[in-house]
Amino acid sequence: MLFVDDLGYRDIGVYGGPVSTPILDGLAAGGVRFTDFHSGSGVCSSSRAVVMTGRHHIRAGIYHVINDRSHDMHLLEREVTIAELLKSAGYSTAHIGKWHMGLPFHGRDKPTPDRHGFDYWFVTENNAWPSHRNPVNFVRNGTRVGELEGYSSHLMVDEAIVWLDARRFHARAHGKEPDQPFFLNIWFHEPHAPIAAPDEVVAKYGDLDDPAAIYSGTIDNTDRAIARLVEKLKVDDEFDNTLIVYASDNGSYRQDRVGELRGKKGSNFEGGHRVPGIFHWPGGIARGRVETEPAGVVDLLPTFAGLLGIDPPSGVHLDGADLSPLLTGRGEFKREQPLFWFSPDAGAAVRDGRYSLVAFPGYRLPKDREAMNDLYEQVRAVLEAGDDPALTHGDLWTQMFNGFDNPEAERLRIQFILLNQFRESWIPALKAGGFDRFQLFDLEQDISQQTDKSAEQPETFARLKQTLLDIHASVMADGPDWTQSVVRSD
């Protein structure tokens, strides 16, 4: 699985974006491309928990973006992950890249990826640091590896190739053919900030100091890294029999890269969670198909089970559906539960067919907004004093969540982020809270979600409102309260 970070619906070439991505375009042309595909959340950690479990992220223990220094929350060990499901069926498993579902590197007791089913792991807690170039924060099977030379996407593909070769060598060393199936989970950092890409790639898209050009360069560079992985699979004669899935953890933080969609990263409008969704498997699914059925990363675990003939986890509620009928053209697709999203800040949304219902929170999180605004103005003053180019490139508020080259601005920004981050002490209030306003949108007529149809479609509005409230209640009932010590043992 190829999972990218903060990539928008209109970023890559095959989705009408400005970035040259010939490898991804080719995978889409040779497989199934979803036009209405969705992340599990508008933000990172939450969406990743949905990918791994086929369940809403709150059921799996993650309410929002994780800071391992201050949060106890993590992906609960009781959850059955894709890796555990496939490992039980004889697959070897590896996770390479961003993790961001909790790691025990700051004195808090949290499981490592091997305790979630991965035989091998080469990960970062969160983003590549200090940027995609020469990162210093990778950990291999529990051991920090120090500074690496190169760009994150290529370093990760290097690691993947080494792992693939090691599998084959190990099998032959024991007199066996290297035919054990594998699950390789590659979670790229690009194009999440802090961004970096080779100058010759950035120059294709604009000035070398233009954040938009660098952003595009990171996506282009990742496509080049994926090309190396695809070539490796072909050389090993495994390409035709390997299912490749490509998606993003949420929408872009750049409004210009979500196209006609409303909202961006963090939002429950379409721009926050509608993302590319590409499936490629010459030996197992349709080729050259464009699928318009709404689907998402929540469907991956049940879909893998369906395609491979593996029983899904028993005794747990899966929020996703098996997409294999849509991918193979065999059988009837059925979704038992509409797609659902929740964020402590943004509220909730539910999707059923052509309609989307967005719900706004009826509570106000107790953030120190005065202090946050003061830090924002301090950052602006620092940038203005230095005539910093960051002031001329896009929305300053958005950049507060992504990073600055100016050291003083970055120091202030980190204070801002700490004030804004999720507090586990809010969980009881979230469980007790609700929604005070709802909007209904007909996405077939209004993909930009500009016209509220709740008054014109009262029956549809009432039905979806009740559906949203029911799913929300179920999710919150399952979600652990991290303020209670009993949760620590999962």
**Among the listed residues 188, 53, 69, the one whose alpha carbon sits nearest the alpha carbon of residue 132:** 188
**Among the listed residues 383, 341, 346, 384, the one whose alpha carbon sits nearest the alpha carbon of residue 363:** 346
What's the pLDDT band for 393 if we cut at 50, 70, 90? low
Q: What is the C-alpha to C-alpha distance for residues 267 and 449, in angstroms, rounded to an integer?
A: 13
271 and 185 in a common domain:
yes
pLDDT score, position 386: 81
Torsion of CA 203, 205, 208, 211, to 10 degrees: -160
151 phi, psi to nearest 5 deg: -105, 140
Residue found by looking up tokens 């700051």 in the block = 106
- Asked which of 321, 338, 355 is the last residue of a domain, the reply is 338
387 in a domain, yes or no? yes
Q: What is the C-alpha to C-alpha distance for residues 392 and 461, in angstroms, rounded to an integer?
A: 42
End-to-end CA distance of the chain: 27
What does the pLDDT average to over 66-79?
97
Cα distances (Å, whole numbers) of residue 468 to 208, 340, 461: 46, 7, 10
404 and 331 in a common domain:
no
Look at residue 394 and tell me whether its pLDDT is greater than 70.
no
**H/E stretch holding 351:** strand 347-352
483 in a domain, yes or no? no
pLDDT score, position 489: 46
291 and 187 in a common domain:
yes
Look at residue 172 and tell me whether its pLDDT is greater than 90.
no
Q: Which residue type occupies 397?
A: W
Look at residue 487 and tell me whether its pLDDT is greater than 70.
no
3-state SS class at 264: coil
462 in a domain, yes or no? no
Q: Which residue type occupies 44?
A: C
pLDDT score, position 484: 87
Q: Which residue type occupies 465?
A: K
What does the pLDDT average to over 22-42?
99
- Asked which of 380, 406, 424 is the last residue of a domain, the reply is 424
243 and 150 in a common domain:
yes
Rama region for 349: left / alpha / beta (φ>0; ψ in -120 to 50; rest): beta
360-385 pLDDT tens trace: 999 989 899 999 999 999 999 999 89
**Among the listed residues 146, 148, 92, 150, the one whose alpha carbon sits nearest the alpha carbon of residue 121:** 92
What's the token pair of residue 137? 């924060």
> Is 339:296 a contact under the CB 8 Å cutoff?
yes
Cα distances (Å, whole numbers) of residue 120 to 139, 353, 371: 11, 39, 43
pLDDT score, position 221: 99
230 in a domain, yes or no? yes
325 and 374 in a common domain:
no
93-104 pLDDT tens trace: 999 999 999 999
What's the pLDDT band for 170 if we cut at 50, 70, 90? confident
Radius of gyration of the chain (CA): 22
74-114 pLDDT tens trace: 999 999 999 999 999 999 999 999 999 999 999 999 999 99
User: What string of DSSP letters covers 407-421?
Assistant: HHHHHHHHHHHHHHS
Cβ burial 432-461 (10 Å sphere, 16+ → b, else e)? ebebeebbbbbbeeebebeebbbeeeeebb
470 in a domain, yes or no? no
Q: Residue 46 belongs to a domain with what CATH number?
A: 3.40.720.10
Catalytic positions, please? 44, 100
95 and 53 in a common domain:
yes
pLDDT score, position 403: 80
What's the token pair of residue 52? 């791994």
414 and 318 in a common domain:
no
325 and 383 in a common domain:
no
**Among the listed residues 390, 440, 414, the one whose alpha carbon sits nearest the alpha carbon of residue 129:** 414
384 and 331 in a common domain:
no
3-state SS class at 445: coil
487 in a domain, yes or no? no
Q: What is the C-alpha to C-alpha distance for residues 394 and 384, in angstroms, rounded to an integer?
A: 15
**Residue 159's domain spans which residues?**
2-338
DSSP E strands in 23-91: the ranges are 32-38
Residue found by looking up tokens 């982020």 in the block = 417
309 in a domain, yes or no? yes
274 and 142 in a common domain:
yes
Q: Quickly count: other Cβ atoms within 10 Å of residue 231's Cβ.
A: 13
Q: What percent of the chain has pLDDT over 90?
A: 90
283-337 pLDDT tens trace: 999 999 999 999 999 999 999 999 999 999 999 999 999 999 999 999 999 999 9
Q: Which residue type occupies 341?
A: W
| 185: β partners | 95
Look at residue 490 and tell me whether its pLDDT is greater than 80.
no
- In the sheet with 339-343, reading across from the earlier edge strand, the strands are 339-343, 347-352, 355-361, 435-442
3-state SS class at 220: helix
Q: What is the C-alpha to C-alpha distance for residues 221 and 236, in angstroms, rounded to an integer?
A: 23
The whole model's pTM is what?
0.95
Look at residue 176 and tell me whether its pLDDT is greater than 80.
no
160 and 296 in a common domain:
yes
Look at residue 118 and tell me whether its pLDDT is greater than 80.
yes
**H/E stretch holding 183:** strand 182-187
327 and 379 in a common domain:
no
Q: Which of 183-187, 213-217, 349-353, 401-405 has the lowest mean pLDDT?
A: 401-405
- Asked which of 403, 424, 445 is the last residue of a domain, the reply is 424
Number of independent structural domains in the chain = 2
> Is 444:453 a contact under the CB 8 Å cutoff?
no
459 in a domain, yes or no? no
> Is 151:197 a contact under the CB 8 Å cutoff?
yes
**H/E stretch holding 356:** strand 355-361
